[in-house]
Chains A and B, each alone.
Chain A
Amino acid sequence: MGKRGAVGLEIMTELRLGLPGAVKPSSNKRVFSEISTTEEKGSTEEPKAPAKNQVVGWPPVCSYRQRNSFNKEKVDRAEAGAGSKAYVKVSMDGALYLRKIDLSMQKGYSDLAFSLEKLFGCHGIGEALNGGEGAEYKLIYEDKDGDWMLVGDVPWEMFMESCRRLRIMKRSEAKDFAILQTRDFLKGTLKDDN
């Protein structure tokens, strides 16, 4: 069967219809297990069915609560987060000091924009992300390779993994802005090609 991990990853990216970030982790798992029936069941993700040694009706949590408990995603996130929270530094042009934000607690780009707006008490970061021409700000990030990238190009999860720090640039930083505007233009061109 070859490299299980590689095959699995391939399958996951092939079947995705939208951005990976938009697909719930649980549905990914379902797809994966449907295909890989011949794989050994050594996955760490157990299905929701009770384990073999589980006793019926124990612990005594009433069936309604069992079926409808809290957001399991959140708990998974908290599990992963405990000890490995994704805090990154955020600088804003003109601000005296930097802030830190936990990327793992954001649900997506607009959530991030909103959190940043709250953090710095400003408006307009949401517009920056939507790529408005007249936007007052630009949101960029430094990735794993040390390059400065425009926030919003890649799927959210990919962004979360590679983002090392964030910078909110103001319009007044004219030089860099021009470069970024060119990038936007290019981005737009690429879109038209598709």
Chain B
Amino acid sequence: MDPSKSRDSAESTRVIQFPNDVLERILSLIDSHRDRNAVSLVSKAWYNAERWTRRHVFIGNCYAVSPQIVARRFPNIRSVMLKGKPRFSDFNLVPPNWGADVHGWLAVFADQYPQLEELRLKRMTVTDESLKFLARKFHNFRVLSLLSCDGFSTDGLEAIATDCRHLTELDIQENGIDDISGNWLSCFPENFTSLEVLNFASLSSDVNFDALERLVSQCKSLKILKVNKSITLEQLQRLLVRAPQLTELGTGSFLQELTAHQYEELERAFIGCKYLDALSGLWEATTLYLPVLYPACTNLTFLNLSYAALQSEELAKLVAHCPRLQRLWVLDTVEDVGLEAVASSCPLLEELRVFPADPYDQDINRGVTESGFLAVSLGCRKLHYVLYFCRQMTNAAVARIVQNCPGFTHFRLCIMKPGQPDYLTNEPMDEGFGAVVKTCTNLRRLGVSGLLTDLTFEYIGRYAKNLETLSVAFAGGSDLGMKSILVGCPKLRKLEIRDCPFGNEALLSGLEKYESMRSLWMSACKVTLHGCKTLATQRPRLNVEVMKDEEIDDGQSYKVYVYRTVAGPRTDAPSFVQTLCS
């Protein structure tokens, strides 16, 4: 190849002058929104080709942009994912009626994207009116996924079931809604056949079983079915024989007095589930009925037992049948012994989440400890995602864990008592988390806990060069801690902090950083209104929102939410949210 400069520039001119339709054809094959964002920065021609071919838009913060701006830039969107409230709203730190109402978006979409097919919302407020509006206005609507949303009731779901004739996915997860009745399921038309995904596991009302059975029989493409607790084992058996093609199953209640014959039928139904790779539900599962699952577990890659309070032996017996398991969610009732069984039975495990069965009882000493975590790290070398709630931990254990599994991308450790030191040495957990960031160079998400000094944050700032999300609570000694993070972590996108001694100096040390981040949350820290105002003045392209912190009596504590935006201050802020302006 002749590396002469003139040849290069001729080549690059040729590239730019690709006919638009060829460029668009090529770009339409790109799905990842990050890749598309990069593509749009190459040149004006590429920017235009990209925007015309984008079908799916991901908006990580619904207030970072307005629906009008989105519609203006992307004329051909068919699928939208929107995220609303700050993550700490999951833990009741954000008052109700804060915002993130989807209706404003739907109104614009009805006008600009009448062909909209998919809507995925997380932590948004969705009213029944909005659901009815959606069902009425979008005739090609196919996919509705609502995760951790609030504001609607099962009445809204009735409208969706009744009017969305081409619905392929209805996924209702972990929302705070009014579960009035299960009648919505009966609203699907009699000849309805298009459903591929149905998840109503988090609703509690009884649904009409005949309607469900008919739905399952008719929807031959149904791949994912997650029913709620009201569905009995006997009913589950009848559903399974009608849908042996399922790849993901969420059972109903796993406890019912069955006759021997019914038990056998259930066993046979599970033997018939040859394609299952994910299993969840299993409320009240006991030793008595777990064995029926064994034949269906051979190809299981995801097992969610976080609603089944299994004991160690029960888990041990179950996972012995799951050699291909990659993701496991359990309650800490399984204890270290249960985790040891996982370590020996599931060598392919990549993700482990251990939830606390009794998070609010500070007097008990049950659950999992550092040994369980250590055991899993020894047996499961591919482990890279852990969410672990425990009551005791040591620096030495954490260091050994990451030595065994240096590939961690998500390390979320929650020592449940705030400010608890290494229980053996009584020292802060600085060295443990230090080991995490030094060893795990691919770390993208970190959740810290326990007694931590500024040293932990110095380590994070110095070593965690790929860190994108950091959650901090009851930690740190001074402003230096937060400063180290803001100055040190080049890829930081989300920072959420509560109950830490970080003040205005810390807040303002991030002046250069916040516009490259999605958001910052600080509550019960030492920032004052003055500090926030300074930030707002110096960075007009950030929204600096403050809310009086009702839990703290001094009248001077604020919850601060800072995020970059091209839409200016939000117009729907409730009275308790103040957007500080420059």
Give bound CA distance, A50 to B360, whole Å: 7
Binds B, one of A12-20, A67-75, A148-156: A67-75
A59 pairs with B257, CB closer than 8 A:
no
Binds B, one of A1-9, A110-118, A179-187: A110-118
**Least CB distance, A167 to chain B, in whole angstroms:** 21
Given contacts A56-B93, A60-B473, A70-B307, contact A51 B148 (CB under 8 A): no
Indicate with 1 or 0, residue by residue over A63-88, a CB within 8 angstroms of chain B CB atoms: 11110111100110011000000000
Give bound CA distance, A58 to B498, whole Å: 10
- CB contact list, B245-283 vs A, under 8 A: 255, 257-260, 283
User: Within 8 Å of chain B (Cβ to Cβ): is A190?
Assistant: no
B309 pairs with A64, CB closer than 8 A:
no
A57 pairs with B175, CB closer than 8 A:
no
B91 pairs with A123, CB closer than 8 A:
no
Binds A, one of B16-24, B351-359, B397-405: B351-359
B357 pairs with A75, CB closer than 8 A:
yes
Task: Give the size range of B's interface with the partner.
Answer: 35 or more
The chain B residue with its CB closest to the CB of A64 is B174
User: Within 8 Å of chain A (Cβ to Cβ): is B578?
Assistant: no
**Least CB distance, B256 to chain A, in whole angstroms:** 10
Give bound CA distance, A56 to B557, whole Å: 15
**Least CB distance, B454 to chain A, in whole angstroms:** 21
**Least CB distance, A48 to chain B, in whole angstroms:** 9
Indicate with 1 or 0, residue by residue over B337-376, a CB within 8 angstroms of chain A CB atoms: 0000000000000000001111110100010000000000
User: Within 8 Å of chain A (Cβ to Cβ): is B202?
Assistant: yes
**Least CB distance, B455 to chain A, in whole angstroms:** 23
Residues of chain B contacted by A56 (CB below 8 angstroms): 91-93, 551
B148, B176, B311: which has the most chain A beta carbons within 10 Å? Answer: B311
The chain B residue with its CB closest to the CB of A114 is B257
Indicate with 1 or 0, residue by residue over B284-316, a CB within 8 angstroms of chain A CB atoms: 101110000000000000000011110100000
Residues of chain B contacted by A110 (CB below 8 angstroms): 257
Residues of chain B contacted by A58 (CB below 8 angstroms): 91, 418, 473-474
Main secondary structure of the interface of A (DSSP, over half): loop
Residues of chain B contacted by A189 (CB below 8 angstroms): none
Give bound CA distance, A59 to B389, whole Å: 9
A105 pairs with B287, CB closer than 8 A:
yes
User: Within 8 Å of chain B (Cβ to Cβ): is A61?
Assistant: yes
User: Within 8 Å of chain A (Cβ to Cβ): is B392?
Assistant: no
B283 pairs with A61, CB closer than 8 A:
no
A63 pairs with B414, CB closer than 8 A:
no
Residues of chain A contacted by B88 (CB below 8 angstroms): 57
User: Within 8 Å of chain A (Cβ to Cβ): is B427?
Assistant: no
User: Within 8 Å of chain A (Cβ to Cβ): is B129?
Assistant: no
New A-B pairs, 6, CB < 8 Å, besides A69-B357, A70-B309, A123-B260: A54-B362, A59-B356, A63-B91, A105-B287, A107-B257, A110-B257
* Cross-chain pairs A/B with CB under 8 angstroms, 7 sampled: A59-B389, A60-B91, A60-B471, A71-B284, A114-B258, A114-B260, A115-B288
User: Which positions in B face A, CB cutoff 8 Å?
Assistant: 88, 90-93, 148, 174-176, 202, 255, 257-260, 283-284, 286-288, 306-309, 311, 331, 333, 355-360, 362, 366, 389, 414, 416, 418, 471, 473-474, 498-499, 551
User: Which positions in A face B, CB cutoff 8 Å?
Assistant: 50-51, 53-66, 68-71, 74-75, 78-79, 105, 107-108, 110-111, 114-115, 117-118, 123, 126
